[in-house]
């Protein structure tokens, strides 16, 4: 077991050969042998890292289980989630698990790839070997081996910045016509 500097462990089990790197905070968590967390990881109650799982910098888990050799390398939030073995969670991925009244579960199968900056809107299931394209907002189940893309197609609007600046300049000029300078005495 290896625990880095400035790490806080509270009601947490860290098995032999597991690592918790510096500046991590773990509360009510379980870190299996060969798993690692941090630096700067946040494992909240119910976080469970199975053997060989990896949670990197600025990743937060709450009531979430990462399967054997699953990875969430950086900048992610996984709440009320079950993540299968050998799954890769990209940077900026979040599980949107709260609808304002209740918490919902996200289930992610084995060997799933979730592209960076994606939102998984619970309740939702990603079956084994599914692939989520980066930048997607997933609100429907994804079948086994399927590619899910849920984003608007990019379009470029030529000349937009110039027209916007011209409109702002005209608006500022119109505003200045109606300003009265009360600082001068006559």
Alpha carbon 107 to its chain centroid, in Å, reads: 15
Domains and CATH numbers, the chain: 2-155 (2.160.10.10)
**Contacting residues for 106 by C-beta, under 8 A, at least 6 apart:** 78, 80, 81, 82, 95, 97, 120, 122, 123, 124, 125, 126
pLDDT of residue 176: 72
> What predicted TM-score, i.e. pTM, was given to this entire model?
0.85
Q: Is 74 designated active site? A: yes
| pLDDT tens, position by position, 28-69 | 999 999 999 999 999 999 999 999 999 999 999 999 999 999
CA distance 81 to 87: 13
Active-site residue, from 23, 48, 54, 74: 74
CA distances from 122 to 58, 84, 103, 116, 133 (A): 22, 16, 8, 17, 17
């Amino acid at each position: 077991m290896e625990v880095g500097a400035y790490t806080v462990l509270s009601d947490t089990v860290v098995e032999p050969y597991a690592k918790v790197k510096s500046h991590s905070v773990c509360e009510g968590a379980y870190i299996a042998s060969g798993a690692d967390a941090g630096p700067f990881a946040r494992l909240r109650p119910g976080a469970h890292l199975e053997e060989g799982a990896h949670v990197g910098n600025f990743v937060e888990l709450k009531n979430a289980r990462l399967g054997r050799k699953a990875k969430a390398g950086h900048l992610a939030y996984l709440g009320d989630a079950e993540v299968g073995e050998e799954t890769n969670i990209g940077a900026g991925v979040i599980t949107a698990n709260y609808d304002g009244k209740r918490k919902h579960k996200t289930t992610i199968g084995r060997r799933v790839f979730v592209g960076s900056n994606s939102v998984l809107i619970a309740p939702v299931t990603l079956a084994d070997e599914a692939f989520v394209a980066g930048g997607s907002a997933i609100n429907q189940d994804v079948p086994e081996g399927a590619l899910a893309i849920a984003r608007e197609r990019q379009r470029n609007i030529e000349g937009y910045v110039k027209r916007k600046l011209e409109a702002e300049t005209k608006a500022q000029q119109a505003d200045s016509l109606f300003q009265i300078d009360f600082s001068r005495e006559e």
